[in-house]
Amino acid sequence: MFSLFNVLLLFIGISSDVEAFQWETAKYKGQDHVTLRSLKSFYFFDKISYGADIVLYRAPSTRQGKKTPEIEMKFRSGSYSCIMNGVLFKLSHPVINNGGKYLISRIDLVKLVDPVLRPSHIKN
């Protein structure tokens, strides 16, 4: 059975690999969220560190014959900001610390993070 999250991904045209991935999801104040740990796994980040900022880091490498660039993403609990490689992006919903799990809204994943990290997957 498809979740609302999967149906939305199908509707907006995100590729099937996002659909097949087992996202760690949570509801917070009625909004669907995914964990930053899931984001780390799906986008092949090498590490995630927790402090004043939550930082995801991926070193440059080659995957499936394609070069992947170095990426650093910074989040802060309660903030509407995401900094990717020094560029500030504004989120629709704040990053949430829910019982030690940091969450980003599904909307921000689908509308901002995925298109920035995988522009070749945007369908016309």
**pLDDT digits 0-9 by tens, 20-47:** 789 999 999 999 999 999 999 999 999 9
If pLDDT is split at 50, 70 and 90, which confidence band does 119 have? Answer: confident
Question: What domains lie within the chain, and their CATH numbers?
Answer: 4-121 (3.30.457.10)
The predicted-structure confidence for 52-75, as pLDDT tens digits, reads as follows 999 999 998 887 788 888 999 999
Q: Are 109 and 118 in contact (CB under 8 A)?
A: no
Which pTM does this prediction carry?
0.78
Task: Say how many CA atoms lie within 13 Å of 45 toward its Cβ.
Answer: 20
